[in-house]
Amino acid sequence: MSQTITFHEVSTPAARKAMVAQRWPVDKVLELFNLPFNDLLFRAQQVHRENFDPQEIELATLLSIKTGGCPEDCGYCPQAARYDTGVKAQKMLELETVLAAARKAKEHGATRFCMGAAWRSPKDRDLEHVEAMVRGVKELGMEACATLGMLEDGQAERLKEAGLDYYNHNLDTAPEFYNNIIHTRDYENRLDTLDKVRNAGIKVCCGGIVGMGESRRQRAGLIAQLANLDPYPDSVPINNLVQVEGTPLHGAEPIDPLEFVRTVAVARITMPTARVRMSAGRREMGESVQALCFLAGANSIFYGDKLLTTGNPDADADSALLEKLGMHAKHVTQEVKC
Ligand code: SAM
Ligand code: DTB
Ligand code: SF4
């Protein structure tokens, strides 16, 4: 008689990993991508409604706390020192400047404040400053998120101690496409950092970029990687490549906007309780495509007129769009510490 083995009866980490990897084989994810558009959106909206208020959108504001001069070679990124993009390397922002931006974001209705740094990985002395920023953001009663590159042992614990809620570290694309985009760090490095974040008790924000010349199967490969993380990320940013002159990916064939909507829908179906964020690339999208993304299960946006170095829709235009759609911003749920 055949016996079914459950996940918890599998003993070795490798065997567990293999079993988890079966949860969303790439072929199954690709089948979702290939559904008729209306069927895909209907399914995504059903999953969305089972898990979230369909009218509620999380507003997260981004700030670049250390801009440009990055030693890495990510082919999409305007902040890599080796590309001539017009982005100048700057020093890390002062604590007061960061907290003034966080206060302003809160006044405008953002509940999450995300601080980004153009580092391969943070130095311990840099981390001290970031810890102070995290503490300050938490004192405002906002959720704090940081994206600082790869973490060394002990650094995630320090950020957790300072009160960090989320750490953003993207897989960016499917493993088999990754070497077309980045050569200065590998996929395993990224997975290691995600493990460190999770083990320190910080929530994982992890997604990727589409529109970099990848195939639909490779987009399915990215979503499968994310959905098979154990557990899958709490937040999933889906970026549409913002093409910046001077980067190797400038001039890449843009994806059809409806393919972006499909990617959001597949992320929603495969990661039902994650916050799926329509991240970079909204300015180029128009209202109708964004409305379709909300229907496909996106329930978070970057809010404010700038991402890290590139533009984002004006906050007023976003508020008007939400109102037009009868949607509303998620409220601050945390206590403000005095
Ligand atoms: N340096 C850190 C790192 O790479 O981990 C943190 C900052 S980095 C700018 C954060 C993420 O922004 C990248 O992983 C990538 O997914 C996204 N990103 C950067 N440039 C982009 C672009 N031009 N279009 C879309 N997403 C972009
Ligand atoms: C993410 O996935 N997208 C954000 C955030 N995490 C840090 C960054 C988008 C950057 C877009 C290009 C720029 O503005 O420099
Ligand atoms: Fe550096 Fe991050 Fe840009 Fe890569 S994505 S070049 S690591 S700032």
Residue 276's pLDDT is 98
Dihedral (Cα; 237, 238, 239, 240), 10-degree rounding: -170
Ligand nearest to the CA of 74: 3
Q: What is the pLDDT of residues 69-94, one digit of tens each?
A: 999 999 999 999 999 999 999 999 99
Q: Report the b/e string of 12-24 with b at 16+ CB within 10 A.
A: eeeeeeeebeeeb
- Average pLDDT, integer, range 211-232: 98
Residue 10's pLDDT is 41
Q: What value does the mean pLDDT of the chain take?
A: 93
| For residue 231, cis peptide bond before it (omega within 30 degrees of 0) | yes
Residue 183's pLDDT is 97
Q: What is the pLDDT of residues 149-204, one digit of tens each?
A: 999 999 999 999 999 999 999 999 999 999 999 999 999 999 999 999 999 999 99
> Which residue out of 64, 67, 76, 79 has the highest number of ligand 3 atoms within 8 Å of its CB and is therefore the one to mutate?
79
The yes-or-no verdict on residue 107 having pLDDT over 50 is yes
For residue 191, give the 3-state DSSP assignment: helix
Tell me which residue has its CA closest to atom 2 in ligand 3. 118
Whole-number Å distance between alpha carbons of 116 and 305: 16
Which residues sit with their C-beta closer than 6 Å to ligand 2? 62, 78, 116, 147, 168, 170, 207, 237, 239, 242, 279-280, 307-310
**Which residue in 289, 320, 288, 291 sits closest to 303, CA to CA?**
320
Q: What is the pLDDT of residues 297-322, one digit of tens each?
A: 999 999 998 999 999 999 999 999 99
> Which residue out of 62, 64, 70, 181 has the highest number of ligand 3 atoms within 8 Å of its CB and is therefore the one to mutate?
70
For residue 332, give the 3-state DSSP assignment: coil
Residue 2's pLDDT is 34
Q: What is the pLDDT of residues 189-213, one digit of tens each?
A: 999 999 999 999 999 999 999 999 9
The yes-or-no verdict on residue 54 having pLDDT over 90 is yes
Residues in CB range of 206: below 8 A, 6 or more apart: 168, 169, 170, 171, 194, 226, 229, 233, 235, 236, 237
Whole-number Å distance between alpha carbons of 156 and 170: 16
Q: How far is the CA of 9 from the centre of ligand 2 (A)?
A: 40
Contact call for residues 35 and 270 (beta carbons, < 8 A): no
Question: For residue 70, which atom of ligand 3 is closest to its CA?
Answer: 1
Query: Could you tell me the pLDDT band of residue 22, with boundaries at 50, 70 and 90?
Result: low
Contact call for residues 310 and 64 (beta carbons, < 8 A): no
The yes-or-no verdict on residue 1 having pLDDT over 70 is no
Query: Could you tell me the pLDDT band of residue 17, with boundaries at 50, 70 and 90?
Result: low
The residues assigned a catalytic role are: 70, 74, 77, 114, 145, 205, 277
- Average pLDDT, integer, range 239-254: 97
The yes-or-no verdict on residue 326 having pLDDT over 80 is yes
Residue 331's pLDDT is 84
Whole-number Å distance between alpha carbons of 127 and 183: 25
- Average pLDDT, integer, range 16-43: 87
Ligand nearest to the CA of 61: 2
The yes-or-no verdict on residue 231 having pLDDT over 90 is yes
**Which residue in 217, 237, 174, 256 sits closest to 29, CA to CA?**
217
Residue 5's pLDDT is 38
**Which residue in 150, 73, 56 sits closest to 111, CA to CA?**
56
The yes-or-no verdict on residue 18 having pLDDT over 90 is no
The yes-or-no verdict on residue 130 having pLDDT over 90 is yes
